[in-house]
Amino acid sequence: MHLVQWLCVFIAAVSSVGCAPIWTTDGMYLVRGRGGALFLTPSPLDLSLYRGVMLEEIQISTKQRSRALKPSEEERLNGYFTRRLEDVFERYGWAIAETPAEDVLRVRLTVKDLKLEESRRFHFGSVIAGVSGDSITIVLELRDAVEGDRRLLFGDKRRLPFGVYAGSESISIRRVEDAFYYFSNDLRRRLDQAQRGEFPPPPRPGAARRISAASHPS
């Protein structure tokens, strides 16, 4: 099963099992809390060996029965996601790298389940484009750029916020940007926790529920 599909199923499953500790079969365990599910390699999580990150091409996809993203919208989202990630990583102390190295992490971001509607015209000539889905799925994976070992997987089914938006076709895209803004803030807090060594210890394997880990997405 594709990594992102697997994670979507898992996030839903976690909600139904309460706080039972969960291990994946590839040795990662789940830390629950605000901002989604976070999977770690066995304790201690040590990211101090890394000095930079290399961003892979961002994957963005829509739901079935959604209109397709326009090239301009996809370009806008890619630019926004990239700027937010660069800001988070640079604040953490990681430089943006162009090539793999022993002290570099490879970053893969997938944003899916966007459901965009065509523009609809309302009274007084206002044009509003709606988002029928109320959430999107965001998955961020960090892997050692040389060895390929997964170091961190952060996933969330993020609700799209409501706010005061001017009526225009960009309203759908702006809501996605706002959702990602809050996701990136949660990511920054998680990295700060890792830097301070504040992650809880892993659960005892014998007492934990085990699940299958997905393969690396193609």
Which residues, at least 6 apart from 156, have a Cβ–Cβ distance to it below 8 Å? 11, 35, 36, 37, 137, 138, 183, 186
pLDDT score, position 126: 53
Go through the domains of the chain in sequence order and give each one's CATH number: 3-205 (3.30.160)
Q: At what angle do helices 71-92 and 171-196 cross, to 10 degrees?
A: 20
Name the most confidently modeled range: 3-17, 80-94, 107-121, 166-180: 80-94
**Confidence label for 133 from pLDDT (cuts 50, 70 and 90):** low
The alpha carbons of the chain give a radius of gyration, in whole angstroms, of 18
Give the whole-angstrom CA distance, residue 113 versus residue 9: 13
Q: Whole-prediction pTM value?
A: 0.78
Residue 118 has pLDDT above 70, yes or no: no
Whether the bond into 44 is cis, omega within 30 of 0:
yes
Q: What's the mean pLDDT in 183-191? A: 91
pLDDT score, position 181: 95
Could you tell me whether strands 116-121 and 127-131 are parallel, antiparallel, or unpaired per DSSP bridges? antiparallel
How far the first Cα of the chain sits from its last, in Å, is 11
pLDDT score, position 122: 53
**φ, ψ at 125 (rounded to 5°):** 80, 10
Using an 8 Å Cβ cutoff, are 137 and 179 in contact?
A: no
Q: Could you read off the pLDDT of 32-83 as tens digits, one per residue? A: 655 566 777 766 778 999 999 999 999 999 988 888 888 999 999 999 999 9
What count of other Cβ atoms lies within 10 Å of the Cβ of residue 35? 17
**Confidence label for 167 from pLDDT (cuts 50, 70 and 90):** very low
Which has more confidence, 136 or 126? 136
By three-state DSSP, how is residue 125 classified?
Answer: helix
pLDDT score, position 149: 87
Q: Out of 67-71, 104-108, 142-146, 160-164, which region has the weakest mean confidence (pLDDT)?
A: 160-164
